[in-house]
Structure 1
Amino acid sequence: MKRSVAKTISWRIVGTLDTVIISYLITGTLALAVSIGGVELVTKMLLYFFHERTWNNIKWGK
């Protein structure tokens, strides 16, 4: 469980920085880019956590 949480957080940091950079390049507005990144941070962290936990319960490939 702790490993899943740590992986979720570290991956979201990388992913959110990517989203903020891309959003800034598209919009040219740092405040908007950070807002988009903030929303994305929360939603994708939750999605990834539950995705990871689901895959931990699947025996295939272990």
Structure 2
Amino acid sequence: MIGQVILKDKQKSTYKADSTNDKPIRSVAKALSWRVVGTLDTLVVSFVLARDFKIAASIASVDFITKLILYFFHERIWNIIKWGR
């Protein structure tokens, strides 16, 4: 009986991903995959507007880093919000 109580308490304290929560590594994978798509879009749009691949690649590189970080934290915050679940 005491062992069952301890086991239940231990299970409650460990992080478990379920249908409502993603593990942080999943958020990283989602952020990376989305940023690849988004960066390719930024690269194409930047190239069309600037007509210079070097400038377009610079814009896309900065865009990739900043939006990857922003998306990760955006995803983690939304994972906490219970609204709509």
Task: Specify the TM-score bucket, using the shorter chain as the normaliser.
Answer: over 0.9
Greater Rg over alpha carbons, structure: 2
The CA RMSD over aligned residues, in Å, is: 0.5
In the alignment, structure 1 residue 55 sits paired with structure 2 residue 81? no
Which residue of structure 1 aligns with residue 55 of structure 2? 32
Which residue of structure 2 aligns with residue 42 of structure 1? 65
Query: Unpaired runs of 5+ in structure 2?
Result: 1-23
Shift of 1:28: 0.2
Alignment-mate amino acid for residue 24 of structure 1:
F
Count of residues paired in the alignment: 62
Structure 1 residue ranges (4+ consecutive) displaced by more than 4 angstroms after TM superposition: none
How high is the TM-score relative to the length of structure 2? 0.72
Higher helix share: 1
- Whose RCO is larger (CA < 8 A, sep 6+)? 1
In the alignment, structure 1 residue 13 sits paired with structure 2 residue 36? yes
